[in-house]
Amino acid sequence: MSRFRLFLGLLAVVDAAVAHPLGNNTVNRQAVIAISPDETRVTYHLDLAEIPTLAEGIAADADRNGQTSDAEWGGWARRRAEDIMRRLDLKLGDQALALRVEGLEWRLAPGEAGLPVLRMRMRYAASPAVSPMRVSLRYQDRYETARPGWKEICLSGLEGVVVTASNVPDSDRSRSLTDFRLPFGASAPQELSASAELIIPAETVRPERDPLARENSAGFPAASDGTFHTIRSGSWREAWAFFRLGMHHIAVGFDHLAFLFGLLLLSSRLGDVVKVVTAFTLAHSVTLGLAANGWVRAPGEVIEPAIALTIVYVGALGARRRHPGHGVWLAFSFGLVHGFGFASALAESLASRSDSGGHWLLNIASFNLGIETLQLLLVSLAFPLLRFSERFAWAHRAEMTASLGVMAAGLGWLVVRLADG
């Protein structure tokens, strides 16, 4: 009985990766806009997760020697800062402000599965030709707007400038993209534009200290320290990286694990388990490949609740002691849905590189193989324990409780994902 209680306890844990937008494919950004009478500044933080960092590291390898050096990363960062600047629209009244790059900091840090993540901070500034007493400000971010991730804007006045109205807060909610905690049920900000009404004083009263100086500088050394700056590429190195990411993805994918456990509860023989797991594997491999290459697309606001519904369904079948003969087709059809969920972890990065040769196909296969390796390992451990427990009197109650736990977990995910959508 203790094994079942332990498993149910694990299902009840809300993993941080489910509640916040971070994942292996996210590109997170924050724009801190500060307006003074003589200058408008935008401090732009960028946080690339493991898969985008891997893809960009390969792109930054200018001499194609299979290693991205510190100098190559620096050149890539400068080009990216210029590219982002051209995609930021800033207007003060009717005047379009011309931003200029005033500072750039970057570093790579350890991420999941032994891969690095990239953090950048760019400082832009623009000087208006006039300083009217009352004026409106408009800001628009057009940089890779479709990429999933945290999108935050905060805006404040400096040196006597008063913000009378704004559609974004003046507080730094993520501490410069270092803290992604959210209240339960809350979704990550998706702010790509801002508007505000300002009063600019005729006389400037300068504070003793610039508020921008209090920004969190965690993870940004004053100069390059040469640490974690090398990404080794090559088809087999990439494949190994994606294999590790696939294993990590299923290890923290509690919704997929709950569905798989629900299927195990519906299977009483080893032959049934083999058929069900094979059907699930084939199905999500198909949609993973199609979606990751961009051939088919399914909106996350539909797929994520649908995955939760599959978990509710298999849990309900187990609780009602109904072990349908169409279990293989059930696993296959629901596996198609779960494949879209797996694809969300790497679709954008791999789709953008699908025209660069056959590596993208090898990477997809490696990612999927990593998923299957850990999945089969967990099944090989769980199924014998389930069958061994059948010799005890409490087995029926434990199986019923476990099925109810799977169903409850699915309902919880369903409610949260519908609220986020």
* The residue type at 368: N
* Cβ(310)–Cβ(255) below 8 Å: no
Confidence of residue 241 (pLDDT cuts 50, 70, 90): confident
Q: What is the pLDDT of residue 410?
A: 85
Of 345, 325, 316, 364, nearest to 24 by C-alpha is 345
The answer to whether residue 196 scores a pLDDT higher than 90 is: yes
Q: What is the pLDDT of residue 209?
A: 42
**Arithmetic mean of pLDDT over the chain:** 76
Pick 306 or 269 by higher pLDDT: 306
Residue with tokens 């196909």: 361
d(CA 58, CA 64): 8
Q: What is the pLDDT of residue 381?
A: 82
The answer to whether residue 7 scores a pLDDT higher than 50 is: no
The answer to whether residue 408 scores a pLDDT higher than 50 is: yes
Per the structure block, which two tokens stand in for 136? Answer: 């409106």
Q: How many CB atoms lie within 10 A of CB 359?
A: 19
Rg of the chain over Cα atoms, rounded to whole angstroms, equals: 25
Pick 233 or 283 by higher pLDDT: 283
Q: What is the pLDDT of residue 30?
A: 96
The answer to whether residue 225 scores a pLDDT higher than 60 is: no
Q: What is the pLDDT of residue 420?
A: 65
If 0-12 CB within 10 Å is exposed, 13-18 middle and 19+ buried, where does residue 392 land? exposed
The answer to whether residue 96 scores a pLDDT higher than 80 is: yes
Q: What is the DSSP string of 44-99?
A: EEEEE-HHHHHHHHHHH-TT-SSEE-HHHHHHHHHHHHHHHHHTEEEEETTEEP--
218 SS3 class: coil
50-69 confidence digits (pLDDT tens): 888 877 887 888 887 777 88
d(CA 345, CA 288): 10
pTM, entire model = 0.67
The answer to whether residue 8 scores a pLDDT higher than 50 is: no
Q: What percent of the chain has pLDDT over 70?
A: 75
Residue with tokens 């702010």: 191
Rounded to a whole number of angstroms, the distance between the first and last alpha carbons of the chain is 37
Q: Label the pairing between strands 27-36 and 151-157.
A: parallel
* Cβ(266)–Cβ(314) below 8 Å: yes
Contacts of 351 (CB under 8 A, 6+ apart): 292, 293, 294
Pick 359 or 116 by higher pLDDT: 116
154-168 confidence digits (pLDDT tens): 999 988 899 999 999
Q: Where are the domains of the chain?
A: 27-232, 234-420
* The residue type at 14: V
The answer to whether residue 322 scores a pLDDT higher than 70 is: no
Q: What angle do CA 318, 320, 325 make, to 5 degrees?
A: 65
* Cβ(174)–Cβ(22) below 8 Å: no
Q: What angle do CA 254, 257, 262 make, to 5 degrees?
A: 125
d(CA 20, CA 8): 22
Q: What is the pLDDT of residue 368?
A: 78
Mean pLDDT of 67-80: 88
d(CA 318, CA 321): 5
d(CA 124, CA 31): 10
The answer to whether residue 228 scores a pLDDT higher than 70 is: no
Q: How many CB atoms lie within 10 A of CB 123?
A: 18
Mean pLDDT of 384-404: 78
Confidence of residue 418 (pLDDT cuts 50, 70, 90): confident
Q: What is the pLDDT of residue 257?
A: 83
Q: What is the pLDDT of residue 342?
A: 67
* The residue type at 353: R
d(CA 106, CA 75): 11
The answer to whether residue 2 scores a pLDDT higher than 70 is: no
Mean pLDDT of 255-264: 82
Confidence of residue 222 (pLDDT cuts 50, 70, 90): very low
Q: How many CB atoms lie within 10 A of CB 10?
A: 15
Cα–Cα separations (whole angstroms), residue 417 to 220, 262, 411, 412, 413: 34, 20, 10, 9, 6
Q: What is the pLDDT of residue 120?
A: 92
Of 261, 198, 290, nearest to 401 by C-alpha is 261
Q: What is the dihedral of CA 335, 336, 341, 347, to 10 degrees?
A: 130
Q: What is the pLDDT of residue 402?
A: 82
Q: How many CB atoms lie within 10 A of CB 157?
A: 23
Q: Which residues share a beta bridge with 108?
A: 118
Q: How many CB atoms lie within 10 A of CB 125?
A: 18
Q: What is the pLDDT of residue 210?
A: 44
Which of 90-104, 198-212, 223-237 reaches the highest mean pLDDT? 90-104
Mean pLDDT of 369-383: 82
Pick 1 or 282 by higher pLDDT: 282
Segment among 27-41, 110-124, 188-202 with least mean pLDDT: 110-124
Which of 163-172, 214-223, 348-357 reaches the highest mean pLDDT? 163-172
Confidence of residue 108 (pLDDT cuts 50, 70, 90): confident
d(CA 258, CA 268): 17
* Cβ(55)–Cβ(349) below 8 Å: yes
The answer to whether residue 12 scores a pLDDT higher than 50 is: no
278-298 confidence digits (pLDDT tens): 788 788 778 877 766 667 776
Q: What is the pLDDT of residue 300?
A: 67
* Cβ(126)–Cβ(98) below 8 Å: yes
